[in-house]
């Protein structure tokens, strides 16, 4: 039916009188160039993609590593000043290590620890078998200067930490003895749920109950900036001996609050070496 | 590409260049453009030489390339400007013996068809490709090829009949 069309088309496309001007070598050369350009384009695209990927991952990793943990701290490596990321305030530097020798500390603390031991036993803490402090006790932390001292001594059997604190001018002092293990037996646990079986060293804010503690911030009642505490390798810490005279000056008219039992330490936060928070305790009224 | 592949391609190109040029000529009505389109098609075939299925696929792919090349040429602005201008040297030489060149009428009639109908008519009735092959080359459904071919043939007959009447 369409043979006539096919015949006409074949006749119209007759190129017997049309010489071919195409050089096949030229087509080959164009083809090779085209293939080469395609390969270069693919390689370039792969290179750019890889570079973009690597750059993106690097930037992301850097951003993640460099981003300040909102619950953490930032340490200025040149000055050592710690900034609390949460509030943006700079922490008060940690108290200095006391210049007193360990023997001198034992000597000074003996009397006060003896009183504390008597108190301890008088309230029925018959488990305190460590006895009074002597030269065999190890000073695990000592902070202060010529006028103040806050020292912690560990008993040889490591069951008791005696904390010995001298206030202003080294005139006023007291000592407390704390169990390093759980302070209550399982039977007593139900009655003393507020203690929660915590070692007294934790309850008394002498030790952070978490591993790898590098820095500790302590919020003290009446102070705007947190204090950085000095930390021992076992997580024992001290924000510095309280200045009793200054403490009285915080707010002399605020007696009712203190009567109600507002604690001096309001908040304790601990961080690992990277500045990540690993522990937090916060005072909550009516607890 | 390896030397052996180059030799195979050269052999294929030598055999395919004229048929491709003729197909392109029916599509565009210009021998120069047809030759350019055939060359472009062969360059594209070379680029995919190792990825084309040699049995059956090679011819289809070459035709697809030549049709695409012709349509791409027509879309270029600098080509479009000269679309309606007749290049005397490019057209078939006048039949000095007969006076009237039927071939020129056919080319002009083909040129009056829409590109899709023209492509269907050429591929089906000049290249003897099946409906499926034509559909594959043009990227349309077989039903579309059938309808486009039918309309193209009908229109082509009308145009040729008019040309014959006016020639008498």
> What is the span of the domain harbouring residue B10?
1-88
Question: Which of B9, B38, B103 is facing A12, going by the closest CB pair?
Answer: B103
pLDDT in tens, A206-265: 899 988 899 999 998 878 899 999 999 889 999 887 766 555 555 555 554 454 456 778
Residues B7 and B60 in one domain: yes
Rounded Cα distance, B68 and B80, in Å: 16
Q: How far apart are CA A53 and CA A56, in angstroms?
A: 5
Is any Cβ of chain B less than 8 angstroms from the Cβ of A38? yes
Mutation for testing the B interface, residue in A22, A25, A29, A35 having most B CBs under 10 Å:
A22
What pLDDT score was predicted for residue A54? 94
Residue A44 or residue A121, greater confidence: A44
Do B109 and B82 share a structural domain? no
Kindly report which listed range (A233-242, B17-26, B33-42) carries the lowest average pLDDT score.
Answer: A233-242
Q: Is A282 on the interface with B (CB under 8 A)?
A: no
B87 touching chain A per CB within 8 A: no
Q: Tell me the per-residue pLDDT of A11-24, one tens digit each, with 9 for 90 and over.
A: 888 888 888 888 88
Which of B74, B65, B20, B57 is CA-nearest to residue A31? B65
Q: Please check whether residue A9 is in contact with residue B26, taking contact to mean a CB–CB distance below 8 angstroms.
A: yes
Task: State mean pLDDT over A266-279.
Answer: 90
For chain A, domain boundaries: 1-67, 69-96+208-287, 98-202
Same domain, B8 and B63: yes
- Flag whether residue B46 sits within 8 Å of chain A, measured between CB atoms: yes
Does one domain contain both B79 and B137?
no
Assess whether B3 and B84 both reside in one domain.
yes
Instruction: Compute the distance between CA of residue B83 and CA of residue B27 in angstroms, rounded to an integer.
Output: 13
Do residue B3 and residue B83 come from a single domain? Answer: yes
Say whether residue A13 is in contact with chain B using an 8 A CB cutoff.
Answer: yes
User: ipTM score of the complex?
Assistant: 0.80
Residues β-bridged to residue A150: A143, A165
Average pLDDT over residues B46-52: 86
Which residues in chain B are closer than 8 Å to A31, comparing Cβ atoms? 1, 9, 42-43, 46-47, 49
Query: What is the distance of C-alpha A260 from the center of its chain?
Result: 32
Number of domains composing chain B: 2
Same structural domain, B101 and B34 = no
- Cβ A35–B110 below 8 Å, yes or no? no
| Minimum CA–CA partner of B43 in chain A | A31
d(CA A139, CA A287): 34
């Amino acid at each position: 039916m369409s043979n006539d069309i096919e015949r006409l088309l074949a006749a119209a496309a007759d190129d017997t009188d049309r010489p071919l001007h195409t050089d096949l070598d030229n087509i080959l050369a164009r083809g090779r160039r085209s293939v080469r350009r395609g390969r270069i384009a693919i390689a370039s695209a792969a290179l750019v993609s890889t570079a973009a990927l690597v750059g993106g991952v690097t930037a992301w990793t850097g951003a993640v590593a460099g981003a300040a943990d909102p619950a953490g701290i930032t340490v200025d490596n040149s000055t050592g000043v710690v900034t609390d990321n949460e509030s943006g305030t700079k922490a008060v530097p940690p108290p200095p290590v006391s210049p007193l020798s360990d023997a001198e500390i034992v000597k000074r603390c003996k009397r006060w620890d003896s009183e504390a031991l008597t108190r301890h036993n008088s309230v029925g803490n018959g488990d305190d078998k460590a006895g009074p402090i002597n030269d065999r006790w190890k000073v695990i932390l000592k902070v202060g200067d010529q006028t103040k001292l806050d020292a912690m001594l560990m008993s040889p059997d490591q069951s008791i930490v005696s904390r010995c604190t001298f206030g202003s001018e080294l005139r006023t002092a007291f000592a407390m003895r704390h169990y390093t293990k759980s302070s209550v037996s399982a039977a007593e646990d139900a009655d003393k749920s507020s203690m929660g079986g915590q070692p007294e060293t934790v309850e008394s804010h002498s030790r952070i109950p978490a591993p790898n503690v590098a820095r500790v911030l302590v919020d003290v009642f009446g102070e705007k900036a947190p204090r950085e505490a000095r930390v021992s390798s076992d997580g024992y810490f001290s924000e510095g001996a309280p200045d009793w005279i200054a403490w009285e000056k915080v707010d002399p008219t605020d007696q009712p609050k203190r009567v109600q039992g507002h604690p001096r330490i309001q908040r304790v936060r601990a961080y690992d070496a990277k500045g990540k928070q690993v522990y937090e305790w916060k005072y909550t009224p009516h607890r | 590409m390896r030397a052996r592949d180059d030799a195979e391609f050269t052999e294929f190109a030598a055999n395919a260049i004229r048929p491709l040029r003729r197909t392109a000529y029916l599509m565009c009505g210009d021998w120069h453009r047809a030759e350019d389109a055939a060359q472009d098609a062969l360059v594209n075939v070379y680029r995919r030489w190792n990825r084309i299925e040699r049995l059956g696929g090679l011819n289809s792919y070459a035709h697809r390339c030549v049709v695409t090349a012709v349509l791409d040429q027509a879309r270029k602005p600098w080509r479009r400007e000269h679309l309606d201008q007749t290049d005397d040297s490019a057209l078939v030489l006048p039949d000095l013996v007969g006076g009237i060149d039927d071939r020129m009428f056919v080319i002009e009639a083909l040129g009056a068809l829409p590109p899709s109908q023209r492509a269907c008519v050429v591929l089906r009735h000049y290249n003897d490709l099946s409906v499926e092959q034509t559909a594959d080359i043009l990227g349309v459904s077989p039903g579309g090829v059938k309808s486009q071919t039918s309309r193209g043939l009908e229109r082509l007959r009308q145009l040729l009949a008019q040309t014959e009447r006016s020639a008498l």
